[in-house]
Amino acid sequence: MASNVANHDGSATTTPAETNPSNEQPVNNNDQTVNDSEVFAPDDFLADSNSYYNNAKKYWSNVSPTVDGMLGGFGSISFIDIRGSEQFLKHLYKQKPAPGRKRALDCGAGIGRISKNLLLPLFDHVDLVEQDEQFCQTARTELADYGSKLGTVFNEGLQNFVPAQGRYDIIWAQWVLGHLTDEDTVKFFNRCAEALARGGMIVIKENFTTGNVVDVDRTDSSVTRPLLQMKQLLKQANMRVVKEQRQTSFPKELYPVYMMALRPTLKK
């Protein structure tokens, strides 16, 4: 999986550069009337997970290790994206208990765009995980000036990555979960929950479709899910949404992008 893409920003799901093929209005977050069975899952596309991940890896191996490459040609939205993420993080630190600021993990980190512009200025140490070796090497070079604040750059796909238990105050996954199958997305959340420090949170920032159908991109081997389906996966993973917010000021032709802060469901 390309760990990153958004456009590879780390992401991945379809890049922000991915445009919204419909003119429908964004799904209402409060609409709970849609049955699970109404969400279309592209089983034929995801049936062979090895091919799914290998195709994504091959696609990203041919992408330029630049901000524009990470964002699918939409490098101009990087500033707006980071500003929106900064504001979202500020709100999270008003929560009780608030996360610490010792260590963050950038998932699907690409060349380190989010680490450089968002996480490293805010945390004492930042680790990155990215499946493409060229992107990892570029990140190490680009972030070298941060010295000891730059932790480990893990060269591994998120479907296999196991973060250290109790290590991270913030785990940030942006534009990358569309490169994971539904099953591996749930497993990823489970592993991340174990990796959170006391008071820690997982933050996801992803494209979402405006209807109840999963959009398939066979070019970069990714899917864009409905918001409702993501919330179903979170429920399966025993995660609860602490805060949810839509990214504003992106070009209208792009998919709606939502940020969600997550914590494990409290045990009764």
Consult the annotation and say whether 254 binds a ligand.
no
Q: Is residue 28 part of a domain?
A: no
Q: Is residue 86 part of a domain?
A: yes
Please state the rounded mean pLDDT for residues 212-233: 95
- Total of domains in the chain: 1
Is residue 25 predicted with pLDDT exceeding 90?
no
Distance between CA atoms of residues 245 and 219, nearest Å = 29
Is residue 20 predicted with pLDDT exceeding 90?
no
Print the SS3 string covering 20-87.
Answer: CCCCCCCCCCCCCCCCHHHCECCHHHHCCHHHHHHHHHHHHHCCCCCHHHHECCCHHHHHHHHHHHHH
Consult the annotation and say whether 119 binds a ligand.
no
Instruction: Place 266 in a pLDDT band, splitting at 50, 70 and 90.
Output: confident
Q: Is residue 44 part of a domain?
A: no
Residues 8 and 110 sit within 8 Å (Cβ to Cβ): yes
Consult the annotation and say whether 128 binds a ligand.
no
Q: Is residue 18 part of a domain?
A: no
Is residue 65 predicted with pLDDT exceeding 80?
yes
CATH code: domain of residue 230: 3.40.50.150
Residue 125, helix vs strand vs coil: strand
Domain with 82 in it: 49-264
Instruction: Place 234 in a pLDDT band, splitting at 50, 70 and 90.
Output: very high
Consult the annotation and say whether 246 binds a ligand.
no
Q: Is residue 43 part of a domain?
A: no
Could you report the per-residue pLDDT of 153-194, keeping only the tens digit for each? Answer: 999 999 999 999 999 999 999 999 999 999 999 999 999 999
What pTM does this model have? 0.87
How far separated are the first and last CA of the chain, in Å rounded?
36
Other beta carbons less than 10 A from residue 119's beta carbon: 24
Q: Most distant CA pair in the chain: distance in Å?
A: 51
Strands 103-107 and 168-174: parallel
Q: What percent of the chain has pLDDT over 90?
A: 80
Please state the rounded mean pLDDT for residues 108-114: 98
Q: Is residue 217 part of a domain?
A: yes
Consult the annotation and say whether 263 binds a ligand.
no
